[in-house]
Structure 1
């Protein structure tokens, strides 16, 4: 069996997605997600101009060798563009291999470690009352874990708060700019979670995304102030380039820490895991080299009792979600999976076998990872340039968004 053809599909059913399709000379094909939010065309070009020519004629069943070829053979390793492209190839090849085996991907990985994948929803509101109500709505839907984000008094734009029904931070045209105040946020955040616990009790798992906004000592202060409300995790409390910074956070709080949605390889999280400075690793299939590399990250994490909590926002296509759910069903040291509902247009372009039931996602039983792309429908949604926002302090200093 040989790879006969491969090509990239860029479509925007509600938001931009990049998909790689690999076709064999026996007619079996696989699809992989290559979306990099705000930089989509860079990955599309990397695949079309540099990767696809190297795939034609290769045996699609040699997943490990192809992964190593694309990683080591390029010389310029790592980075979001390279690893998203490798992930797309890897995901498509695992899709092909599982289809050839006639089994759902999780079976090929080693079978189930659990009967369902616990996912967390996003409850957000313009103020505390609205967020508290949204948490209640997701509890009624059966979610056992819920991320809570709220507008902050005095700040016009806050991360995680949707303008409409579906939260999508990327906006058409040039990047939007918002003003950030750490002081206002640190004073406000504990009040949000006090209100959620008063209304909904200690039963639901509550999560919160800081989105890289704090210094290490500020993150320690936040984690300490949130301890009475028993968070499942505090996500991305500070930028992770300097991983020693997380030692300072650990010294000041026992609130669990989750990091890694922007990580691309095992090297980005090696020290955080080995030094037990985090509790959950949030790498995703699409941005961390696919199923092949995610397994290595999870195996390292398991040695230090760090669990997985993969990124799963709408900037990952249903293809990535399908692959992630098969991975989550198998991985022994699973924690939770992020889940944001895609808009109806996206779901139509990417028909999928996975489904939500009583707080859990199930990957489905069809051979492969269970997600496809309707190319005819995808062609009706041309690429629409969009950028993620940027944040500034009140004095104009550029800050971490």
Structure 2
């Protein structure tokens, strides 16, 4: 079997997606997600101009060799554009191999380690009563774990809180919007939110919270300590992780579990965090971390230090990556939890898939390969539209981390 063609499908069924389709001389094709939120066309250009020409004629079963060729052979390593492109190729090749061998990808990774993949949903509200109501609604739908975000009093806009009645979607058409942020008001408010939540929803449901890189290490340590009575499943991205050593200070002051890594694009971004056990969950996602091949190595390394996975799963990855994450999570031993932010019905129509939600868990299905396809004719009806994530400024106008 040889690769004979590859092409990109760039579409926007309610949000932008870049999909790589690799075709073989035996009529089998595989799909890979190449979506990089707000920088989609940069990855598309990298694939079109520099990667796809190098794939033609290669053996699609030689996944490890192709990965090393694209990573080491380019000389310029890492970075979100390069690693997203490599991820797309890698996942597409795993899809081809699964289809050729007539088996789901999880069987190629060692088979099932569990019956289903525990997922968490997003609850949000403009105030505490709204956040509680949203959490209860998701629990009634069967979710066993819920991430909760809430509007902060005195702050005009808050991360994770939707505008109007639509589901939360951070990417916005046009140029970047600006949000306002107050660390002081946030730190005083969040413990009140989770105190009220535990009082209303009980002790059994897993509660999570995303800080979204907004705090300094000592501020994050203060928040983690304040949240200890409410035993969160995790506190996510408490501080920017460029300085991995910063997490040592947080760990010294709180036993609230820590998750980080959704913006990582290499195992090395998490090396010290894992080796020193400064985090409990690795959030790096298959679409930006180098694909299934790279994440399997990262997960195996993390398992040595009892660090689990908790992959990013927002709508800035397509159903192709969601399926890959579910196959991966079903197979590896040190899986923790998977983020599940459902796509719109239009996105699901463009990307028909075999995975499904059932009573707090998701399963990838038993179709060969990923179990996801793309309706190219329908995708053509929704062309790319420029969109960006917002930026954040403090009350005094200082630009801060979003």
Matches within 5 A, 1:63-212: 63-163=63-163, 164-212=165-213
Partner of 1:41: 41
* 1:50 alignment partner, SS class: helix
Q: Are residues 1:247 and 2:248 paired?
A: yes
Partner of 1:236: 237
Partner of 2:369: 368
Quote the offset at 1:376 in angstroms: 0.2
- Find the aligned partners of 1:154 and 1:187 in 2 and give their Cα distance: 12
Stretches of 4+ aligned residues off by more than 4 angstroms:
none
Partner of 1:379: 380
Q: How many residues align?
A: 401
Partner of 1:317: 318
Q: Deviations over 1:78-123 (max 9, x none)?
A: 0100000000000000000000110011011110000000000000
Partner of 1:272: 273
* 2:341 alignment partner, SS class: coil
**TM-score normalised by L of structure 1:** 0.99
- Find the aligned partners of 2:290 and 2:248 in 1 and give their Cα distance: 27
Quote the offset at 1:251 in angstroms: 1.1
Quote the offset at 1:165 in angstroms: 2.5
Q: Deviations over 1:237-259 (max 9, x none)?
A: 00000111101101110000000
Matches within 5 A, 1:255-270: 255-270=256-271
Preserved contact between residue 166 and residue 343 of structure 1 (Cα < 8 Å): no
Q: Deviations over 1:140-186 (max 9, x none)?
A: 11111100000001111111111232211111111001111000000
**TM-score normalised by L of structure 2:** 0.99
- Find the aligned partners of 1:325 and 1:371 in 2 and give their Cα distance: 12
Preserved contact between residue 148 and residue 207 of structure 1 (Cα < 8 Å): yes
Quote the offset at 1:374 in angstroms: 0.4
Partner of 1:225: 226
- Find the aligned partners of 2:168 and 2:58 in 1 and give their Cα distance: 40
Preserved contact between residue 5 and residue 56 of structure 1 (Cα < 8 Å): yes
RMSD over equivalenced CA pairs, Å? 0.6
Preserved contact between residue 143 and residue 358 of structure 1 (Cα < 8 Å): yes
Partner of 2:290: 289
- Find the aligned partners of 1:101 and 1:382 in 2 and give their Cα distance: 34
Partner of 2:60: 60
Q: Are residues 1:11 and 2:15 paired?
A: no
Partner of 2:26: 26
Unmatched tracts of structure 2, length 5 or more: none
Q: Deviations over 1:34-54 (max 9, x none)?
A: 000000000000000000000
Partner of 1:300: 301
- Find the aligned partners of 1:395 and 1:140 in 2 and give their Cα distance: 41
Preserved contact between residue 36 and residue 43 of structure 1 (Cα < 8 Å): yes
Q: Deviations over 1:217-265 (max 9, x none)?
A: 0000000000000000000000000111101101110000000000011
- Find the aligned partners of 1:299 and 1:162 in 2 and give their Cα distance: 37
Partner of 2:215: 214
- Find the aligned partners of 2:112 and 2:210 in 1 and give their Cα distance: 29
Q: Deviations over 1:363-395 (max 9, x none)?
A: 000000111110000000000100110001111
- Find the aligned partners of 1:99 and 1:174 in 2 and give their Cα distance: 41
* 1:342 alignment partner, SS class: coil
Q: Deviations over 1:248-296 (max 9, x none)?
A: 1011100000000000111000000000000000011100000000001
Unmatched tracts of structure 1, length 5 or more: none
* 1:178 alignment partner, SS class: strand
- Find the aligned partners of 2:146 and 2:396 in 1 and give their Cα distance: 34
- Find the aligned partners of 2:392 and 2:143 in 1 and give their Cα distance: 31
* 2:118 alignment partner, SS class: strand
